[in-house]
């Protein structure tokens, strides 16, 4: 059950090039949140920007939640300027969590860019359920990497400044060829082209794979119907990212 | 104690704030976030005979003080609605208006007649003004004779309140208002979204999959006010004002130019309790100015019609 709250900013710091970590006070959302869920945030009281912005819940503490974001436009620029003591209107937790309890032994976390965002909380839950974890992170350069609260990290960078020189998906494929990852399940998050490549790799290697999608959404609660993703399941052509996702089994959706 | 209620063809609305079709689902999506019993009414997501998938993404684009949408009437279809959604709506203590969208006169009639047999529907709002579908929608809503024909045909099928939702994408909305009043409509909803578009300059492509979409939000409030005002000059049936209402102040503007009630639409996407807050704010305004009945505010704007440019085309 989601809540709508005016949450005070506890901290707002830059943690990598262009990437911010915002901590908001909300005991209630912190307690309800599960890995893969998101909050929908209003960055202003006015109507510029007009809509809320969805953010993965990155991590939770006893009475606060962490969100990771980069500046892409007016809303995130305003969020980056929020200081301790300012408040933000938060709606959440929303969406369907990752299936972290399912039958698998090793969790393979694959994050492209800011796609790393939901992984700290996911890692906590995976450890709680005694899963083995290997984490693949992809970033443009070594300066864009965020790797706190993660386990067994394999890094890939576009420019080769750190780790594997290439995409995060090719780094996973290369690692897979030479390492044993028993009873694997992939958890992926990142830009759509990366998720498409990851989905193909997972299908090729016969690994179960769950993806966390982004959608152009307004409400985040199923009212606006703005965030469809093509589905292969059932009679319906589309599923809604906000309430039926954002996490989907990669076989259930078609990424375009 | 301020009188907030109003009556439409024998149906009493507890206050003058409804939630607009397509912005509040079927009511149950947000029941944990807002007490829907405090609303004057709920207009359901548009219902068609068969389920509709809706348009491909991208369906929504944020714009200055508003948004464009091209949902394409995605809905569960009337039979599923009756089976799965209506039971919840029957438990809600407010007026339930079924919004109907169709691609033929026959389909409008079939959907309405099926709903007529059900308990729990208090009235109908007819969407002849969706800008995002090729069949039906605007091709009906911009044709005055067709709009009138649909109204007259549905009027014969129901004794419940019949509301026609008009598009602003016509030269003179007053002609359409007059036509549907003559055809027996009990009220008009003014306005549906305004046709608009946005372009991705990097990809050199339209942002919406359907090229154009419907603009809503505060960006269209001034247009909506002018359309309500225009319609109010020529019809005596109630007008339900819609367009960019975020606050009680916005809603009061609509009443003053001639709306009997309002619908809160896009604001629900940002705060699903907007409608309830707007109703509260209208009550406070009435108390502050000693207005005993909100109905006294309807059309109460003082204006010098001599200077009104609008009068020249009515």
Give the tens place of pLDDT for each residue, A128-166. Answer: 999 999 999 999 999 999 999 999 999 999 999 999 999
The pLDDT value given to residue B313: 76
> Does B271 sit within 8 Å of A4, measured CB to CB?
yes
Average pLDDT of A37-41? 97
Judged by CB atoms closer than 8 Å, whether chains meet at B64 and A48 is answered as yes
Contacts of B74 in chain A (CB under 8 A): 225, 228, 238
Instruction: Give the number of C-alpha atoms closer than 13 A to the C-alpha of residue A154, restricted to the C-beta side.
Output: 21
Residue B135 predicted with pLDDT over 80: no
CB contacts of A218 in chain B (<8 Å) are: 60, 62, 67, 266, 269-270
B281 pLDDT above the threshold of 90:
yes
- pLDDT at B139 > cutoff 90: no
Measured between beta carbons, which residues in chain A are less than 8 angstroms from residue B266?
A: 218
Indicate the CATH number of A106-212 among 3.40.50.80, 3.30.460.80, 1.10.580.10, 3.50.50.60: 3.40.50.80
Residue A180 has a pLDDT of 85
Q: Kindly list the domain boundaries of chain A, sorted by start residue.
A: 3-94, 106-212
Nearest chain A residue (CA) to B68: A226
Active site residue B144: no
* Dihedral in degrees, nearest 10, Cα atoms B81, B87, B92, B94: 50
pLDDT computed for residue B114 by the predictor: 98
- pLDDT tens digits for range A67-120: 999 998 888 999 999 999 999 999 999 999 999 998 999 999 999 999 999 999
B221-232 vs B248-257: helix crossing angle, rounded to 10:
30
Q: Determine whether the interchain pair A48/B269 forms a contact, defined as Cβ–Cβ distance below 8 Å.
A: no
Residue B292 is predicted with a pLDDT of: 97
What's the gap in Å between the CA of B78 and the closest CA on chain A?
A: 15
What ipTM score was computed for the predicted complex, to two decimals? 0.93
Distance in Å, alpha carbon of A181 to nearest chain B alpha carbon: 36
Structure-block tokens of residue A158: 């576009």
Using the structure block, give the residue that is written with the tokens 């089994």.
Answer: A249
In terms of CA atoms, which chain A residue is nearest residue B219? A47
Q: B36, B39, B60, B217: which to substitute to probe chain A, counting the most A Cβ within 10 Å?
A: B60
DSSP designation for B193: P
CB contact under 8 A, A223 and B66: no
Across A171-187, b (16+ Cβ under 10 Å) vs e yields bbbebbeeeebeebbbb
B142-171: average pLDDT: 97
User: If you measure CA to CA, which chain B residue comes closest to A42?
Assistant: B270
Q: Do B270 and A228 touch (CB under 8 A)?
A: no
Q: How far is CA B197 from the centre of its chain?
A: 21
Q: Is the pLDDT of residue B254 over 80?
A: yes
The gap from C-alpha A199 to its chain's centroid, in whole angstroms, comes to: 16
pLDDT of residue B130: 85
Helix (H, G, I), strand (E, B) or coil at A64: strand
The predicted pLDDT at position B296 comes to 98
Through-space distance between the first and last CA atoms of chain B, rounded to whole angstroms: 39
Under the banding of pLDDT at 50, 70 and 90, the label for residue B133 is confident
Task: Name the CATH topology of A3-94.
Answer: Elongation Factor Tu (Ef-tu); domain 3 (2.40.30)
What does the pLDDT read at residue B70? 96
Q: Is there a contact between B133 and B103 (Cβ–Cβ < 8 Å)?
A: yes
CATH architecture of B6-313: Alpha-Beta Barrel (3.20)
Query: Side-chain half-sphere of B220: how many Cα atoms within 13 Å?
Result: 29
Question: Which of B130, B225, B252, B279 is labelled catalytic?
Answer: B130
Q: Is the pLDDT confidence value at B136 over 80?
A: no
Among B47, B54, B57, the residue to mutate for chain A (most A Cβ within 10 A) = B57
Asked, colleague to colleague, whether A3-94 and A106-212 share their fold, the answer is no
**What is the spatial distance between Cα B42 and Cα B264, in angstroms, rounded to a whole number?**
10
Average pLDDT, chain B: 95
């Amino acid at each position: 059950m989601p809540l709508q709250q005016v949450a005070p900013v506890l901290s707002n710091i830059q943690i990598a090039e262009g990437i911010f970590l915002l901590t908001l006070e909300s005991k209630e959302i912190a307690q309800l949140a599960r890995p893969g869920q998101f909050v929908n945030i209003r960055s202003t009281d006015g109507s510029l920007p007009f809509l809320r912005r969805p953010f993965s819940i990155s991590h939770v503490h006893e009475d606060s939640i962490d969100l990771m974001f980069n500046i892409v436009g007016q809303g995130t620029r305003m969020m980056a300027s929020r200081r301790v003591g300012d408040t933000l209107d938060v709606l959440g937790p929303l969406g369907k969590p990752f299936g972290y309890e399912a039958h698998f032994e090793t969790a393979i976390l694959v994050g492209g860019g800011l796609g790393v965002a939901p992984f700290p909380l996911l890692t906590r839950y995976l450890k709680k359920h005694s899963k083995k974890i290997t984490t693949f992170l992809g970033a443009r350069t070594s300066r864009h990497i965020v790797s706190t609260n993660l386990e067994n990290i394999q890094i890939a960078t576009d420019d080769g400044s750190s780790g594997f020189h290439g995409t995060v998906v090719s780094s996973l494929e290369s690692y897979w060829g030479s390492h044993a990852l028993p009873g694997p399940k992939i958890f992926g998050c990142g830009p759509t082209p990366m998720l498409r490549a990851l989905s193909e790799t997972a299908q090729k290697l016969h690994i179960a794979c769950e993806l966390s999608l982004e959608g152009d959404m307004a409400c985040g609660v199923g009212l606006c119907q703005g965030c469809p993703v093509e589905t292969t399941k059932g009679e319906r052509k589309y599923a809604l990212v906000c309430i039926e996702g954002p996490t989907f089994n990669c076989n259930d959706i078609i990424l375009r | 104690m301020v009188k907030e209620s109003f009556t439409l063809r024998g149906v009493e609305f507890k206050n003058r704030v409804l939630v607009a079709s397509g912005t509040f689902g079927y009511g149950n999506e947000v029941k944990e976030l807002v007490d829907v019993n405090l609303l004057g009414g709920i207009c359901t997501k548009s219902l068609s005979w068969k389920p509709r998938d809706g348009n491909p993404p991208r369906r929504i684009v944020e714009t200055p003080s508003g948004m464009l949408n091209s949902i394409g009437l995605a809905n569960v279809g009337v039979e599923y609605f009756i089976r799965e959604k209506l039971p919840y709506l029957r438990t809600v203590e407010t007026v339930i208006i079924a919004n109907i969208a169709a691609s033929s006169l026959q389909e409008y009639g079939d959907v309405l007649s099926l709903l007529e047999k059900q308990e729990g529907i208090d009235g109908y709002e007819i969407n002849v003004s969706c800008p995002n579908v090729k069949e039906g929608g605007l091709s009906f809503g911009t044709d005055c004779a067709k709009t009138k024909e649909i109204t007259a045909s549905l009027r014969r099928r129901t004794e419940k309140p019949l509301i026609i939702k008009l598009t602003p994408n016509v030269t003179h909305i007053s002609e359409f208002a007059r036509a549907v009043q003559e055809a027996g409509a009990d009220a008009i909803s003014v306005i549906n979204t305004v046709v608009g578009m946005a372009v991705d300059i990097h990809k050199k492509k339209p942002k919406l999959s359907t090229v154009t979409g419907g603009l809503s939000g505060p960006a269209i409030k001034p247009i909506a006010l002018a359309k309500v005002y225009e319609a109010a000059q020529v019809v005596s049936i109630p007008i339900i004002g819609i367009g960019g209402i975020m606050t009680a102040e916005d809603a009061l503007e609509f009443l003053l130019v001639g709306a009997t009630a309002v619908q809160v639409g896009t604001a629900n996407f940002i705060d699903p309790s907007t409608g309830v807050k707007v109703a509260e704010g209208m009550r406070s305004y009435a108390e502050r100015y000693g207005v005993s009945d909100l109905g006294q505010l309807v059309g109460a704007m003082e204006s010098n019609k001599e200077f009104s440019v609008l009068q020249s085309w009515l």
